[in-house]
Chain A
Amino acid sequence: MKVNKALLLTTLAMASILMISLTGCGTQQAQYPTGPVTLVVGWSAGSGADGAARSLAEGTQKHLGQPITIKNVPGAGGSIGATEVVNAKPDGYTILFSTGSMVTQPHFESVPYKPGENIIPVIQVGGYPIALIVRADSPYKNLDDFIAEAKKNPGKLNYSTAGFGSILHVVAEMLWQKAGVTLTHVPFASNREGVVALMGGNLQASIGTPADFLVDVREGRLKVLGVAMPQRAAGLEDIPTFKELGYDVTPFGWWGVAVPKGMPDSISQKLHDAFKKGMDEPPFTDWMSKNKYTKVYLNSADTLAQWKREMAMYGDMAKTLKK
């Protein structure tokens, strides 16, 4: 008697669960998305890319119909995050928040992702200017002072970026090359850490984007010597561009969403449309304007073309930089 009862109970329990779970098993692709989507950000929490991604995700969620969770995978100028997405299943549940460093990294290190080949852009949403930051109490009143000091002490001045081969590193090196100076590059895991190290007196300069320095500049701890833009940035009008100071260095970074190769077009289209609407939603627009970034829209094909152009440009640049 006891045996039957126990077995019966167990079987009942298993059967009911079986039924519950079977109802959950449906066709996966029928109505994408059927579950939360993970947006991988290759930068640490609190960075510019992270803030942009989160505000974008917040506004896009309702257009996509499912929550978008952010996963931070910092390191190596965003390439660890990119690698993760490249290796993920192209089912639309793991996507990448791509940044400008994507087209610079591959030239410096053999990374498993090839922009445009195994990682495809879906949309571009914004741009970020790259700036040179020093401490407010440092003796450099402007860029010329800084360059002069660097000329007198080749290799002695230290500057930080968020990783070897990141777009910040490349733009900085372009500037040093045009100015004819050499500085020592100290890579950190995030821009913010580099800026903190700068404030602590360990470095002479940092390269960063507005999210990294706005608050500290406002409160008088840091100052910005210049920014790499074709003309003065909206919201940052009091910062001179490198170009007007005599150094023609103008590339800026961009943000977008990318997916692994092999995704069905219907899913890519859905993502593109959702993010396009999300771009115009308050969380993203507010965040971008508050932090002095620019909203830029490019569709998938145009972004791909831009990637190819930039890959070529940075490729040439990288050849002159590699020692």
Chain B
Amino acid sequence: MRRMDQISSAVGLAVALLYLLEASKLPLWKGTTFGSGLFPTILGTGLAAVSLLSLLRASIDRTSIPLPEGLVPPRRGMVNLACVIGSLAAYALVVELLGFMLSTFALMAFLLIALEPAKKRSGLVLAGTVVAIAYVLFVMLLKLQVPRGIIG
């Protein structure tokens, strides 16, 4: 019995059922052509079938693999992950408010310092330099559209 596969298959099954639920609201036939519900229904059914198969296989397999040890990362690792996701999310929230340069500088500085707290200074300098170069390269030279915000 493979625990991990069981869990993921069960999740897959749940996703399939939810998808089918949403897909049932779509028409299967429309006017003179197949409607938008055809493909999703096939997919949802397929996923349900595959998940069931997967679940079965994971359950009847004779090798017994409990949840692997390395599943939950060590504390330092969790902090790293939180930093990455958190800073990206924060960036998404503020970038249009504060503008490209300020937000990107903050993002870079935060990440560089978070991953190597011993070198705060070089982190800041690197963040500043990279943002400056990126701005010149992407916004000024290539005319990429970036949010202006409070400070360009």
CB distance from A8 to the nearest CB of B (A): 10
Which residues of B, 18-32, contact A by the 8 Å Cβ criterion?
A: 30-32
Nearest-CB residue, chain A, relative to B122: A6
CA distance A41 to B31 in the complex (A): 26
Q: Check A9 for interface membership: any CB of B closer than 8 A.
A: yes
Are the CB atoms of B152 and A6 closer together than 8 Å?
no
Are the CB atoms of B152 and A24 closer together than 8 Å?
yes
User: How does the 8 Å CB contact mask read for A289-323 relative to B, with 1 for contact and 0 for none?
Assistant: 00000000000000000000000000000000111
Cross-chain contact of B101 among A17, A164, A186, A323 (Cβ < 8 A): A17
Are the CB atoms of A13 and B132 closer together than 8 Å?
yes
Q: Is chain B's binding surface mostly helix, strand, loop or mixed?
A: helix
* B37 neighbours in A (Cβ, 8 Å): none
Are the CB atoms of A108 and B31 closer together than 8 Å?
yes
Are the CB atoms of A14 and B132 closer together than 8 Å?
yes
CB distance from A303 to the nearest CB of B (A): 28
Are the CB atoms of A6 and B148 closer together than 8 Å?
no
CA distance A9 to B128 in the complex (A): 9
Nearest-CB residue, chain B, relative to A20: B140
Are the CB atoms of B132 and A22 closer together than 8 Å?
no
Number of A residues contacting the other chain (C-beta, 8 Å)? 24
Are the CB atoms of B31 and A21 closer together than 8 Å?
no
Are the CB atoms of B152 and A22 closer together than 8 Å?
yes
Nearest-CB residue, chain B, relative to A322: B31
Cross-chain contact of B31 among A3, A17, A18, A321 (Cβ < 8 A): A321
CA distance A186 to B32 in the complex (A): 9
Q: Check A7 for interface membership: any CB of B closer than 8 A.
A: yes
CB distance from A136 to the nearest CB of B (A): 27
Cross-chain contact of B33 among A2, A7, A17, A187 (Cβ < 8 A): A187
Are the CB atoms of B151 and A21 closer together than 8 Å?
yes
Are the CB atoms of A185 and B132 closer together than 8 Å?
no
Q: Check B105 for interface membership: any CB of A closer than 8 A.
A: yes
Known contacts A13-B128, A14-B128: A185-B32 contact under CB 8 Å: yes
Are the CB atoms of B129 and A164 closer together than 8 Å?
no
* Residue with the highest number of chain B CB atoms closer than 10 Å, among A13, A14, A17: A17
Nearest-CB residue, chain A, relative to B36: A109
Known contacts A9-B125, A13-B132, A14-B128: A164-B33 contact under CB 8 Å: yes
Q: Check A184 for interface membership: any CB of B closer than 8 A.
A: yes
CA distance A24 to B148 in the complex (A): 10
Q: Check B124 for interface membership: any CB of A closer than 8 A.
A: yes
Are the CB atoms of B125 and A17 closer together than 8 Å?
no
Give 16 new A-B contacts, CB below 8 A, not counting A10-B125, A25-B152: A6-B125, A9-B125, A10-B124, A13-B129, A13-B132, A14-B132, A17-B132, A17-B136, A18-B152, A20-B140, A21-B135, A21-B152, A22-B151, A25-B148, A187-B33, A321-B31
Q: Which residues of A contact B (CB under 8 A)?
A: 2-3, 6-7, 9-10, 13-14, 17-18, 20-22, 24-25, 108, 164, 184-187, 321-323
Q: Which residues of B contact A (CB under 8 A)?
A: 30-33, 101, 105, 121-122, 124-125, 128-129, 132, 135-136, 140, 148, 151-152
Chain A to chain B contacts (Cβ below 8 Å), 23 pairs:
A3-B121, A6-B121, A6-B122, A6-B125, A9-B125, A10-B124, A10-B129, A13-B128, A13-B129, A13-B132, A14-B101, A17-B136, A18-B101, A21-B135, A21-B151, A22-B151, A22-B152, A24-B152, A108-B31, A185-B32, A187-B33, A321-B31, A323-B32
Give me the 4 closest cross-chain CB pairs, A-B, nearest first.
Answer: A21-B152, A10-B128, A185-B32, A13-B132
